[in-house]
Amino acid sequence: MRALVLEKKLELSLRDIDLPNEIGPDDVKIKMHTVGICGSDIHYYEHGKIGQWKVNQPMVLGHEGSGTITDVGKNEKILKIGDRVCVEPQIVSKKTKEYKLGIYNYDQAVKFWATPPIHGCLTPEVIFPGDMVFKIPENISYSEGAMVEPIAVGMQAVTKASIKPGQIGLVLGCGPIGLVTALAALAGGCSTVYIADIVSEKLETCEHYPDLIPIDLTKEKLSERIMKDTNGWGVDRFFECSGAVKAYESIFTCCSPGALVVLVGNNAEPVPMDWAVLFSKGLEFQTVHRYSHQYEPSIRLLASGKINVKPMITHTFNFEESVEAFERAAEHRPSDIKLQIRIDQENS
Ligand SMILES: [Zn+2]
């Protein structure tokens, strides 16, 4: 089957590759419609690895996918041929302790799309366990359906933040994950969410979201603005979504006493911590690694309009343009938020 294959670092091809086409009793077959390009896909393309995961053999990219069911295994009771769906791209064993505890995202043996050596979904047809495939309602487009994967990351962050109604949030980093985290925080009860970035163009998206307050770090000092707006109290919930070591300094200067900090952007390097401030303010920390049980609530918030991702989808390429799409993504243009690849031209 034709697929977008990462041969090795900086080498992509759209070519035929052997992929499974036998449908098991618990599986469904999906005609892929739209696949979003994730920061991790770009990272594998540019660097050939992320932390411990190295691309040692050709791998199909893509893990943010939506499509249409074209076949179902004999045990599948919920999904039917013709259903419009999105896919939670991780296959987990039901026997692990992590699964039983509801934290299957920490299962070390998880098979996650486009994480070496597991092939991703940038191909016209995939087979996947039906219990990780979720129906999307008619009012959600395939393009929005492919955004459920990044939304799930934001939802995991906000779930871990245990937001109380009316709290003030601050998100560092205005990329796709920062934005979906901010929108999930608003949907989860924050009255106001600030979002800060060092790239001015990225913050322009906030004009579509009246309750999201952009802070341009090239023009304003973050802690001064936060303390001025909160009468010297600080923010209740802090979400680090930039992955920049420098961003951690803002935790100490922007958080209120008792604030909860959620670390979403993963750092490859050790980060210095001002422990005296952490102790004296009683700050709590949570971390996010992918997500568990976030697809259904994410789809409901999309369908209700409480989370609107349309302004984030800034460019769509055809499947035949997949290599160009990745070259464009690797340019890291500040005005590009989410680039997607449309595989299925028949269904709208
Ligand atoms: Zn992703």
Could you tell me the CATH number of the domain that includes residue 197?
3.40.50.720
User: Separation of 39 CA from ligand 1 center, angstroms?
Assistant: 7
Task: Please tell me the predicted confidence (pLDDT) of residue 309.
Answer: 98
For residues 100 and 199, state if they share a domain. no
Q: What is the mean pLDDT of residues 322-338?
A: 96
User: Separation of 104 CA from ligand 1 center, angstroms?
Assistant: 17
d(CA 184, CA 321): 32
Q: Per the domain annotation, does 303 fall within a domain? A: no
User: Separation of 177 CA from ligand 1 center, angstroms?
Assistant: 9
If pLDDT is split at 50, 70 and 90, which confidence band does 162 have? Answer: very high
For residues 46 and 65, state if they share a domain. yes
Please name the residue that has the structure tokens 């936060």.
Answer: 226
Angle at 180 between CA 281 and CA 55, to 5 degrees: 100
User: Separation of 79 CA from ligand 1 center, angstroms?
Assistant: 24
Q: Per the domain annotation, does 301 fall within a domain? A: no
User: Separation of 150 CA from ligand 1 center, angstroms?
Assistant: 5
User: Separation of 148 CA from ligand 1 center, angstroms?
Assistant: 9
Task: Please tell me the predicted confidence (pLDDT) of residue 99.
Answer: 96
What is the CATH classification number for the domain harbouring 78?
A: 3.90.180.10
For residues 181 and 270, state if they share a domain. yes
At position 42, the amino acid (one-letter code) is I
User: Separation of 47 CA from ligand 1 center, angstroms?
Assistant: 17
Q: Per the domain annotation, does 118 fall within a domain? A: yes
At position 55, the amino acid (one-letter code) is V
User: Separation of 63 CA from ligand 1 center, angstroms?
Assistant: 6
Q: Per the domain annotation, does 347 fall within a domain? A: no
- Beta carbons of 36 and 322 less than 8 angstroms apart: no
User: Separation of 160 CA from ligand 1 center, angstroms?
Assistant: 19
User: Separation of 212 CA from ligand 1 center, angstroms?
Assistant: 22
Q: Per the domain annotation, does 299 fall within a domain? A: no
129, two tokens: 């366990």
For residues 273 and 140, state if they share a domain. no
Dihedral, CA of residue 53, residue 44, residue 96 and residue 160, to nearest 10: 120
Task: Please tell me the predicted confidence (pLDDT) of residue 75.
Answer: 98
User: Separation of 125 CA from ligand 1 center, angstroms?
Assistant: 19
345 pLDDT higher than 90: no
For residues 251 and 324, state if they share a domain. no
301 pLDDT higher than 80: yes
Please tell me the least confidently modeled range out of 168-177, 243-252, 264-273, 314-323: 264-273
Look at strands 313-318 and 27-36 and give their pairing.
Answer: unpaired
Task: Please tell me the predicted confidence (pLDDT) of residue 61.
Answer: 98
For residues 269 and 139, state if they share a domain. no
Task: Please tell me the predicted confidence (pLDDT) of residue 74.
Answer: 98
Q: How many domains does the chain divide into?
A: 2
User: Separation of 19 CA from ligand 1 center, angstroms?
Assistant: 21
State which residues form the domain around 63. 2-147+309-342
Q: What is the 3-state secondary structure (H, E, C) of the chain?
A: CEEEEEEECCEEEEEECCCCCCCCCCEEEEEEEEEECCHHHHHHHHHCEECCEECCCCEECCCEEEEEEEEECCCCCCCCCCCEEEECCEECCCCCHHHHCCCHHHCCCCEECCCCCCCCCCCCEEEEEHHHEEECCCCCCHHHHCCHHHHHHHHHHHHHHCCCCCCEEEEECCCHHHHHHHHHHHHCCCCEEEEEECCHHHHHHHHHCCCEEEEECCCCCHHHHHHHHCCCCCEEEEEECCCCHHHHHHHHHHEEEEEEEEECCCCCCCCCCCHHHHHHHCCEEEECCCCCCCHHHHHHHHHHCCCCCHHHEEEEEEHHHHHHHHHHHCCCCCCCCEEEEECCCCCC
Q: Per the domain annotation, does 32 fall within a domain? A: yes
Task: Please tell me the predicted confidence (pLDDT) of residue 51.
Answer: 85
Task: Please tell me the predicted confidence (pLDDT) of residue 270.
Answer: 87
If pLDDT is split at 50, 70 and 90, which confidence band does 347 have? Answer: confident
User: Separation of 16 CA from ligand 1 center, angstroms?
Assistant: 24
User: Separation of 153 CA from ligand 1 center, angstroms?
Assistant: 8
User: Separation of 215 CA from ligand 1 center, angstroms?
Assistant: 25
For residues 143 and 159, state if they share a domain. no
Task: Please tell me the predicted confidence (pLDDT) of residue 146.
Answer: 98
User: Separation of 219 CA from ligand 1 center, angstroms?
Assistant: 30
User: Separation of 319 CA from ligand 1 center, angstroms?
Assistant: 18
State phi, psi for 216 to the nearest 5 degrees.
-90, 110
Q: Per the domain annotation, does 216 fall within a domain? A: yes
* Cis bond before residue 270 (omega within 30° of 0): no
Look at strands 111-112 and 90-91 and give their pairing.
Answer: antiparallel
Average pLDDT, the chain: 96
User: Separation of 323 CA from ligand 1 center, angstroms?
Assistant: 18
For residues 263 and 201, state if they share a domain. yes
37 pLDDT higher than 90: yes
For residues 203 and 321, state if they share a domain. no
Task: Please tell me the predicted confidence (pLDDT) of residue 296.
Answer: 98
Task: Please tell me the predicted confidence (pLDDT) of residue 100.
Answer: 96
User: Separation of 41 CA from ligand 1 center, angstroms?
Assistant: 8
User: Separation of 261 CA from ligand 1 center, angstroms?
Assistant: 22
- Quick one: what percent of the chain has pLDDT higher than 90? 95
Q: What is the mean pLDDT of residues 96-105?
A: 96
User: Separation of 38 CA from ligand 1 center, angstroms?
Assistant: 4
Task: Please tell me the predicted confidence (pLDDT) of residue 172.
Answer: 98
For residues 178 and 220, state if they share a domain. yes
Q: How far is residue 330 CA from its own chain's centroid?
A: 18
For residues 32 and 143, state if they share a domain. yes
348 pLDDT higher than 80: no
Q: Per the domain annotation, does 295 fall within a domain? A: no
Tell me: the pLDDT tens digits for 189-227?
999 999 999 999 999 999 999 999 999 999 999 999 999
Please tell me the least confidently modeled range out of 138-142, 221-225, 242-246: 242-246
User: Separation of 145 CA from ligand 1 center, angstroms?
Assistant: 13
For residues 14 and 124, state if they share a domain. yes
Task: Please tell me the predicted confidence (pLDDT) of residue 269.
Answer: 82
Task: Please tell me the predicted confidence (pLDDT) of residue 101.
Answer: 96
- Beta carbons of 123 and 107 less than 8 angstroms apart: no
